[in-house]
Amino acid sequence: MTQTTPLKILWIAGWYPNRMKPALGNFVMRHAESAALYNKIIVVHVVSADEDNLLITDHVHLKTITVYYKKSSRLTNFFYWRRAWKKGIQRAEDEFGSKPDLVHLNIIFPAGIIASAYSLKNKLPLIITEHSTIFHRKLNCLERYVIRKTVRTARLICPVSAHLGRAIQQLGIHRETFVVLNVVNTDLFKPVQKINQIRKKILHVSTLNEHQKNITGMLRVIKRLSAIRDDFILEIISEFDFSNAESYAAALGLDNKFISFQPLQPIEKVAEAMQQADVFILFSNTENMPCVLLEAVACGLPVITTKVGGISEQINDSCGILIDKGDEDALLKNLTVLLDHPERFDASGMHNHIHSICSYEAVGKQFNAIYQRIVSDKK
């Protein structure tokens, strides 16, 4: 890549890790870290909390400004929320020493109303990265208004899957789209020598949202599998409350011989779990392009997942098996196949493919090319 002058990019992040929710939008943070390899990125994120506070966090290449504002009644909350964004953006301008060259919004609703207003006022180009699954349901009036207003302002939309890009375009506002996948730390998520285990491990990592992830369907299949064989265990890792999943598993008669629930783990521990697992399953009803699938593939871990959202754009028979959503018979059948024949997949080839499209460097170069083109067009 030809050497280019680093640009000043203001990132407005609707989701981002913070002290209340340390895992919220961690995929947005990884996008920011990748972009910061080639440009000066300052992230601004606003969070309702118990006190007003502005916190600046410096990473090696990345500065994050998190503005906490006091929760209030519905009538005044919007005012405090908007004031917090103004405060954070002003601090970013101070850190830049001038206005930025471009505004990069991550997650349109609701922060799009801030990003589009700032972009228009300062005559700055706006691009959008979108991850949210709200485009796969009926939007309410406020969501539709904010999203349409924001998209009209944007020069480019960077969805994490082509399927999500089409869903946004179906709102009737057409903008150029360019898919930029989620980042995978391929130095961390990579194949290693497996430790000999008495039981084969099936792994699931998610929010445990029943409507989206179909946890009960997955557990019913595990119960059926336990009636056929007893040489496996399902490990579930989630940052969220898994009491409902535990209760449902207990009601099915699944004990700790067949299932293990693990709370939020450091990313290094998630990588280790993937490296030592035999099969990864995601039995979702709706998705865009989940990071966990890309991370599993980077570890050389074969996946079984559903043909929903943008999953089939990246998952194929070189790294796993695609089934129809809700097809419990297919999940059961293919779990048996993969548990008995994991050798059919090339772990090294799986890792190399993800590295070529999802590493920090690969994604950072994509963002840099986008920034340079959009700013150059503006001139």
**What is d(CA 171, CA 162) in angstroms, rounded to the nearest whole number?**
15
Q: What does the pLDDT look like over 121-149, one tens digit per residue?
A: 999 999 999 999 899 888 999 999 999 99
Q: What's the average model confidence in pLDDT over 57-71?
A: 91
Q: What is the pLDDT of residues 94-114, one digit of tens each?
A: 999 999 999 999 999 999 999
- Output b/e per residue, 202-216; b: 16+ Cβ within 10 A: bbbbbebeeebbbbb
pLDDT tops 60 at residue 61? yes
Question: Which residue in 45, 42, 43 sits closest to 53, CA to CA?
Answer: 45
Chain-centroid distance, C-alpha 123: 30
C-alpha distances (whole Å) from 254 to each of 203, 222, 264 are: 16, 8, 22
pLDDT at residue number 131: 93
Q: What is the pLDDT of residue 319?
A: 96
Same fold flag, 8-183+359-378 and 200-357: yes
* C-alpha separations of 109 from 45, 150, 220, 340 in Å: 13, 9, 35, 45
Does position 216 have pLDDT exceeding 80, yes or no? yes
Architecture of the domain defined by 200-357: 3-Layer(aba) Sandwich (3.40)
> What's the rounded Cα separation, in Å, for the pair 377 and 110?
28
Q: What is the pLDDT of residue 323?
A: 98
- The half-sphere exposure of 93 on its side-chain side, counting CA atoms within 13 A, is 10
Separation CA 118–CA 120 (nearest Å)? 6
Alpha-carbon separation of residue 373 from 40, 60, 160, 370 (angstroms): 16, 26, 20, 5
Report the distance separating Cα 111 and Cα 171, nearest Å.
Answer: 18
pLDDT tens, residue by residue, 27-40: 999 999 999 999 99
**Of residues 312, 267, 260, 321, the one with CA closest to residue 292:** 267
Strand duo 62-70 + 53-58: pairing: antiparallel
Neighbour count for residue 218 (Cβ, 10 Å):
22
**Which residues have a Cβ under 8 Å from the Cβ of 94 and sit 6 or more positions away?**
none
Cα–Cα distance measured from residue 33 to residue 85, given in angstroms and rounded to the nearest whole number: 21
**DSSP symbol at 159:** E
Domain spans, the chain: 8-183+359-378, 200-357
**Yes or no: domain 8-183+359-378 corresponds to CATH 3.40.640.10:** no
Region of 251 (left: φ > 0; alpha: ψ -120 to 50; beta: rest) is alpha
pLDDT band for position 296 (50/70/90)? Answer: very high
Average pLDDT in the 310-326 region?
97
Q: Which two tokens stand for residue 22?
A: 């340390």
Average pLDDT on 2-9 reads 83
- Report the chain's C-alpha Rg in angstroms: 22
> For residue 259, what is the enclosing H or E element?
strand 259-262
Higher-confidence residue of 137 and 300: namely: 300
Q: Shortest CA distance to 12 belongs to which of 106, 124, 143, 108?
A: 106
pLDDT number for residue 3: 58
Instruction: Convert the pLDDT of each residue in 239-291 to its tens digit.
Output: 889 999 999 999 999 999 999 999 988 999 999 999 999 999 999 999 999 99
Q: What is the pLDDT of residue 1?
A: 47
Please say if the pLDDT value at position 214 is more than 60. yes
Give pLDDT, residue 20: 87
pLDDT score for 171: 87
How far apart (Å, rounded) are the C-alpha atoms in residues 33 and 62? Answer: 6
What percent of the chain clears pLDDT 70, i.e. is strictly above it? 99
pTM summary value: 0.93
Residue type, 266: P
Q: What pLDDT is stored for residue 2 in this prediction?
A: 52
Average pLDDT for 318-339: 97
Most confident of 1-10, 129-138, 224-233, 333-342: 224-233
